[in-house]
Amino acid sequence: MKYFILLIFGLISLDLAAQSDSTHHFTISAYSDVYFANFTDEREANVLQEVTTVSPRDERFGLNIAQIGAHYQSDKVRGNIIIHYGDIAQATWSEEFRAVQEANMGIHLSNDWWLDAGFFATHIGTESFLPKNNFTSSTAVATFNEPFFQSGARLAYEGSERLDFAFWVVSGYNFFLDVNDAKSLGIALSYQLTADLSLTYTNLFGRESLDGIAPSQYRTYHNLYANWHPAEAWYLTVGGDLGTQTNSDLDNPNASALMYNALAVLRYQFSPQYALTVRGETFQDPSGFISGVYTTLDAGISGLELYGLTLSAEYRPMEQAYLRLEGRLLQTSDKLEIFDNGEPTNQRLEMMITMGWEIEKGWWW
């Protein structure tokens, strides 16, 4: 809450400094999501489930997220701060700044160019980590292994109705406080091909190994996805990632490792209140440079390799609120029995019920 109060005073100062002919927009936002979940993977009470971003506690009523934000926009400056709490933050966020989802400000440079700096949610990924921004509440395993947050600066072009572009310099892959003195570079490019079809590409390049460690490990990460609305009731999202890291292959440590993932989400909107969504996913990181490594049945080690299928039913009593019932099956490769259903197994069934709402209130002057 002290961060929120400090932001209010900061925004007041920005307002006093802005030119009198500027347009000002100040918004307060709030969002909350609660859940009950059940997994066939048996774990001790309140232990978070493996590779799970949303609703990660078994047989518990839980709080996925409660967040509040303040957002200021004028012709010359802008700023955001979002404070959050809950199991999503517990499962995924920075230990040093667990309560801070975003804290950044920007200045208008010229024409349609802005420079922003601070703490941000990631620019990479087909899905958002927030259920309210997705067709499903659960997220794919790929999303769990992508960055969630980043610190750095963004140079953004916002002068086109069809094109959005941003160049990023950030601390590293999923860091607020980096582990080395190198910086990572990336872009975010989104283009509206037609009224019903958009294409987005993001990437990140940087050194992920510690300072002084040889050989160095350089990571490249690419994300590409398309959103298509081919008919009134149908929505389709198809996306995937491709990543490499030098000197990281499990079989040959001097070789580069490769990983990839993909997902497809198909939604049918029966009415403004009711919808049904199905998602298929695959995640393949045999060397584990993104997912980490697991012990295999033959006493070796391997990165995560799995497939998943999700079915979600949604009811919206109003546009800003939802109730979702979801079921998912995850299955790893035969050699990776990372789940436990009375005995080690390579399958996990999960069910969750989530309820969420969001609200925004804005003022203009």
Residue 8 has pLDDT above 60, yes or no: no
Q: Which two tokens stand for residue 322?
A: 């939802």
In the predicted model, what is the mean pLDDT of residues 140-157?
98
Residue 13 has pLDDT above 70, yes or no: no
Phi, psi for 131 (deg, rounded to 5): -55, -35
Q: Go through the chain and tell me how many residues it has.
A: 365
* Single-letter amino acid code for the residue at 308: G
Residue 208 has pLDDT above 50, yes or no: yes
| Confidence band, pLDDT 50/70/90 cuts, at residue 324 | very high
Query: What confidence score (pLDDT) does residue 4 get?
Result: 44
In the predicted model, what is the mean pLDDT of residues 119-136?
98
In the predicted model, what is the mean pLDDT of residues 68-75?
97
pLDDT in tens, 259-297: 999 999 999 999 999 999 999 999 999 999 999 999 999
Task: Note whether 316 and 271 are within 8 A (CB).
Answer: no
Task: Note whether 109 and 70 are within 8 A (CB).
Answer: no
CATH number at residue 80: 2.40.160.10
In the predicted model, what is the mean pLDDT of residues 214-240?
97
> What's the whole-model pTM score?
0.91
Task: Note whether 66 and 10 are within 8 A (CB).
Answer: no
Residue 18 has pLDDT above 50, yes or no: no
| Confidence band, pLDDT 50/70/90 cuts, at residue 2 | low
| Confidence band, pLDDT 50/70/90 cuts, at residue 339 | very high
Bridge-partner residues for 152, per DSSP?
Answer: 118, 170
Indicate the number of domains in the chain: 1
CA–CA separation, 129 and 199 (whole Å): 19
| Structural domain span for residue 288 | 2-364
Residue-averaged pLDDT of the chain: 94
| Confidence band, pLDDT 50/70/90 cuts, at residue 22 | confident
Query: What confidence score (pLDDT) does residue 21 get?
Result: 58
Task: Note whether 23 and 74 are within 8 A (CB).
Answer: yes
Residue 83: Cβ within 10 Å count: 20
| Confidence band, pLDDT 50/70/90 cuts, at residue 45 | confident
Quick one: what percent of the chain has pLDDT higher than 70? 94
| Confidence band, pLDDT 50/70/90 cuts, at residue 3 | very low
One DSSP character per residue, 185-221 reads EEEEEEEEEETTEEEEEEEEEEE-SPTT-SS--EEEE
Query: What confidence score (pLDDT) does residue 227 get?
Result: 98
Residue 7 has pLDDT above 60, yes or no: no
Q: Helix count (H) and strand count (E) of the chain?
A: 3, 20
In the predicted model, what is the mean pLDDT of residues 217-230?
98
Q: How far apart are the first and last CA of the chain?
A: 26
Task: Note whether 31 and 356 are within 8 A (CB).
Answer: yes
One DSSP character per residue, 102-153 reads EEEEEEEEETTEEEEEEEEE-S--SS-SSGGGSSSSS--HHHHHS--EEEEE
Burial class of residue 254 (count of CB atoms within 10 Å of its CB; 0-12, 13-18, 19+):
exposed
Residue 246 has pLDDT above 80, yes or no: yes
Residue 365 has pLDDT above 50, yes or no: yes
Find, among 231, 240, 290, the residue nearest to 265 by Cα: 240
